[in-house]
Structure 1
Amino acid sequence: MTYKWRMLVLMSIDSLIVLSAIFFGVFLLYDWQWPWTDILVVSAIVLVIAHHIFAYVFKLYKGAWQYASTNELLRIFYAVTLSVITAGIVQGLVFDVLYARALVVTWMLHILLIGGTRFAWRMYRDTYMKPKKGLKRTLIIGAGAGGTLVARQLKGSPESELRPVAYVDDDPTKQHLEIMDIPVAGTICQIERVAEKYRIEHIVIAIPSMKREELQHIYEKCMETNIKPKIMPMLEDIVSGKLEVSQIRDVQVEDLLGRDPVELDTEGIADTITGQVVLITGAGGSIGSELCRQLCRFDPAEMILLGHGENSIYSIDMELKNEYTHITFETEIADVQGKERMQEIMEKYRPDVVYHAAAHKHVPLMEKNPQEAVKNNVIGTRNTAEAADAAGVSTFVMISSDKAVNPTSVMGATKRIAEMVVQHLNTVSATRFVAVRFGNVLGSRGSVIPLFKKQIEAGGPVTVTHPDMTRYFMTIPEASRLVIQAGALADGGEILVLDMGEPVKIVDLARNMIRFSGFGEEDIGIEYTGMRPGEKMYEELLGDEEVHEEQVHPKIYVGKTNGSYDSVKEVIKYINHDSLVDRLIEVSNDLKPETSKVSAAN
């Protein structure tokens, strides 16, 4: 039924209800012995007109009554009350009389009939229009706003295959209550008992505000029932329209290893991004593509997507163009190792902000191919940074790595040199140059999680280099958001370090992923392969000489500037010399200590 027809039907029904209310009220009070017929007719006409006016004002015809709640009742109350008051005012002004008792009875009947017809439709829909057979008995963890949202969606959707039969919640004030006719049957620690009592077949976690440690605890309790739980989408995804409440999904390892969401200074970020021209190198990569998505939320005027791989650039370009039609997107297939090409692109677009995410990052591969690591990570960074300087870019943000701290690998050493390059340029340029350093990113290309998933799918074993090896982890969206925040906060010349939380043992990560997949270690074994060339046992975020107490954001630290650029300067000035790469590799090796430090910076 179209909106116009629906509104016409509702208005017709309401008109009959209003007339019935006033005439039936007269019957109850006066047994039809009402000598002032003119007053009755005029009052009825005024009441109908006033009802429709106030129904429009309070949007009674726009409500989806299958989801009716107390808000809809309040709207009915306001509309009916004001309608009756209007009819009373007209009686007094036109006829100089007020039949208060008749109006009060009319008001009560009016509310009863209007509200009754609305909620009768909801009751009919819930009772007769939803299939009852074959639905999975579902336990909802959390009886708060998220839980009731999930319960309402599951009960109100004819397509849903789940039937909520119980909640569990740690709030003592909710115990033994019923919410939407569903009992709160216990606490989170009692999940196993509740699941057995109510013959639970499905579990949905619906506490969007919980901390990661709480999710870990809940997940472990759910696994005691041998039922793999699902989780509702984040409320921000529901509110933004990206996901529906009903789009519940499996709990993933990223949910447990990621940290609690951080509050960003959106106003400060908007000042640097909104209406600006932004260029991202490596825009098709894991970090680069997420940077593009996050930056689009701040409405840049134009975004240049630069990358070496045509397929990845095409993919992110199509995705962004479909979602952000008001932003101009340009694509450039280019290699940051090409100095003239980078200068040409910078001159063509004159970006205000540049995010340099293009890099080689795979440690063992770069140990075997040091020349390529130097060309891409050092020379590519220098080419891009100098081109940005020449084009008058306002801010240049380089994505660095925790492996640049006391580097033991070619990749880490080249990243450290790249940091020195941008720090040096900050001293001679009007452009603000800043490096942002963080650790491993969950789910990025080449990271351990996709590897573990493939190994588990293949039946194992899951390969771990060493039982004591630890790494810092954060999610791709969080890393990207904090990079953008760091760029907005930077004064220039800093090495900004993202708070990575507590380090995680790789073997614990492997065990969790095996459990998430529904297996035990007896099904999918863990095999230790030994440390690979260039790897550290523990990662560090700041070197001893870089530790700084200053914090520019609750999740961003600033490292002290290390004045060791002299070892690189002589090489940089001979940028076109044939032996440049060999000389830079020597400098990289000079930066690498003979043995790895094993103390992690907290």
Structure 2
Amino acid sequence: MRRKLVLWSLQQGIWRRAAFLLADTVLIALSLYLAFLLRFDAHIPSHFLDMFFLTLPLALALKIPLLVLFRMYRFSWAYVGMEELYNTGLACAVGSLAFAAVLFLLRHWPAVSGMPRSVLGIDFAFTLIGLGGIRLSKRAVRHAFTRTRGSQGNGGRRTLIVGAGEAGEQLVRGILREKKTGFWPVGFVDDDPVKKGLLIHGVQVLGPKERLADFIRTKQVEAVIIAMPSAPSRTIRTTVDLARKGGVQEIKIIPFFSELYTGEIKVSEIREVQPEDLLGREQISIDTQAIEHFLRGKTVLITGAAGSIGSELCRQALRFGSAQLFALDIDETGLFNLEQELQRRFPGHKAQILVGDVRDRERIAAI
């Protein structure tokens, strides 16, 4: 079963990359043709049409390998972000510069002499728009579908998010992305006056926390989520009191440690407010610079990597810039799931999955 699952995953990955490779080939060819077409006002002279057909194989031979080099076919299509778009732009820029450099070296060859420089600039613009657009398409469609469909169609409760910072933004993004969370965000509450009226993923910042009870009544709120992982207990007590004054009984919170250790807020981490959240607690400060200095550029081996602690250590090792990660465990299924997650969250990092028992001396020595 495990082997079939791995083979199926590999086949899916191969088909996905082949589809992207074919799409990129078509887009690169189309971009160059449109560049000639735009340069000559939709009437390409025969000499320059021949030049297009002659230079097209050169453009493909230069740009496609560079896309592979920049790991463009290792992106997770559904989770393209700023880092992936930056790499896309960089790959397009290097490819266009390489194309221009080779044409410059061949400038004395009659077949390509007189190549309009504007064609190269237009070609770069169309290539960047095309390659970036196709990689953003799935996320854009999913986002539009999610916003249109809404969690209310799945029984989502009208929810106010207290805290319009990074934690709140990640929380709302997760709620909108996942199909069935049980929540539907109808507004943010934040004390920062600069944020009032802003839209975050289409959800408006309504105003300060002191008006929480009013917002609950006007927005017909059914649940409140406190998205302030590092807030002191006094702030949490005040927020809970205001929510209850507004008539809301379902009050949830993001745990204090979730943001500190993962750097990412997940919807699954939301839980009920507990007595210890309302009591005083010491502020914990983690020296992330020291951790990064210790891990960056190093090869790291983590045993028990498929467990909850081990998998989190793997995430942190990659997050803080380890050069190479080896994840060891005897749980093949757990390692498979970990590998899929690491590839999605850290597409540009190296992580090697190893199946083995720490009690096996020969295996450990070989590693």
What is the 5 A alignment of 1:150-169?
150-169=171-190
Equivalent position of 2:25 in the other structure: 15
Whether 1:46 aligns to 2:58 is yes
Indicate the residue corresponding to 1:232 in structure 2: 254
The residue that corresponds to 1:3 in the other structure is: 13
Q: 1:212-361 alignment to 2 at 5 Å?
A: 212-227=233-248, 228-233=250-255, 234-236=257-259, 239=262, 244-263=266-285
The one-letter amino acid of 1:183's match is Q
What is the alpha-carbon distance in structure 2 between the residues aligned to residue 64 and residue 224 of structure 1? Answer: 44
Q: Moved runs in structure 1, 4+ residues, more than 6 A?
A: 264-267, 325-328
Contact 2:146 2:177 in 1 (8 A): no
- Among residues 126, 132, 143, which one is paired with 1:126 in the alignment? 143
The answer on whether the counterparts of 1:192 and 1:224 sit within 8 Å (CA) in structure 2 is: yes
Which whole-Å CA distance do the structure 2 matches of 1:165 and 1:58 have between them? 40
Could you tell me which residue of structure 2 aligns to residue 88 of structure 1?
100
Query: Does the 8 Å contact 1:138/1:204 carry over to 2?
Result: yes
Match of 1:187 in 2: 208
Higher relative contact order (CA 8 A, sep 6+): 2
Contact 2:146–2:176 (8 Å) recurs in 1: no
Deviation at 1:181, TM superposition (A): 1.3
Is 1:25 the counterpart of 2:35? The answer is yes
TM-score, normalized by length of structure 2?
0.66
Evaluate the alpha carbon distance shift between residue 114 and residue 265 of structure 1 in structure 2; reply closer, same or farther with a 3 A threshold: closer
Distance in 1, Cα, partners of 2:220 & 2:145: 24
Query: What is the rounded CA distance, in whole Å, between the counterparts of 1:264 and 1:76 in structure 2?
Result: 34
Report the 3-state secondary structure (helix = DSSP H, G, I; strand = E; otherwise coil) of the residue aligned with 2:173: helix
Please state whether the residue corresponding to 2:224 is helix, strand or coil.
strand
Q: Matches of 1:264 and 1:80 in 2, distance apart?
A: 39
C-alpha spacing 1:118/1:186, structure 2 compared with 1 (3 Å): same
Contact 1:51 1:83 in 2 (8 A): yes
SS in structure 2 opposite 1:116?
helix
Q: Which has the higher helix share?
A: 2
RMSD: 3.2
Who is 1:62 aligned against? 74
Provide the rounded CA distance (Å) in 1 between the counterparts of 2:235 and 2:102. Answer: 61
**Counterpart in 2 of 1:199?**
220
Contact 1:46 1:86 in 2 (8 A): no
Opposite residue 245 of structure 2, the aligned amino acid is E
Residue 129 (structure 1) shift: 6.0
Matches within 5 A, 1:504-515: none
What's the CA shift for 1:150?
0.4
- CA shift, 1:40, in A, is 2.4
Matched, 1:113 2:123: no
Change (3 A) 1:214 1:5: same
Aligned length: 276
Matches within 5 A, 1:179-578: 179-227=200-248, 228-233=250-255, 234-236=257-259, 239=262, 244-263=266-285
State TM-score, norm by structure 1. Answer: 0.42
The aligned residue for residue 73 of structure 1 is: 85
Percent of aligned pairs with the same amino acid: 24
Amino acid of the structure 2 residue aligned with 1:66: A
Matched residue SS, 2:106: helix
Shift of 1:74: 2.1
Please list the CA deviations of residues 421-480 of structure 1 after superposition, one character each: whole Å capped at 9, or x if unmatched: xxxxxxxxxxxxxxxxxxxxxxxxxxxxxxxxxxxxxxxxxxxxxxxxxxxxxxxxxxxx
Contact 1:66 1:156 in 2 (8 A): no
CA shift, 1:198, in A, is 2.1
**Once the 2 structures are TM-superposed, how far is the Cα of residue 240 of structure 1 from its aligned partner?**
8.2
Gaps of 5+ in 2: 1-8, 291-307, 314-333, 336-355, 360-367
Deviation at residue 13 of structure 1 after TM alignment: 1.1
Amino acid at match of 2:262: V
What per-residue deviation string (whole Å, max 9, x for no partner) do you get for residues 221-279 of structure 1?
222222231112433576189x9443311011112225134347999xxxxxxxxxxxx
For residue 183 of structure 1, give the secondary structure of its aligned residue in structure 2. Answer: strand
Corresponding letter in the other structure for 1:11: L
Q: Letter of the aligned partner of 1:18 in structure 2?
A: I
Whether the 8 Å CA contact 2:161–2:189 is kept in 1: the answer is yes
| Aligned pair partner of 1:144 in 165, 171, 193 | 165
- In 1: Cα distance, 2:213 partner to 2:135 partner: 40
Gaps of 5+ in 1: 268-292, 299-321, 329-602
Structure 1 counterpart SS, 2:269: coil
| One-letter identity of the residue aligned with 2:66 | F
Deviations 1:491-548 (A, max 9, x none): xxxxxxxxxxxxxxxxxxxxxxxxxxxxxxxxxxxxxxxxxxxxxxxxxxxxxxxxxx
- Tell me, in whole angstroms, the C-alpha distance in 1 between the residues paired with 2:287 and 2:176: 39
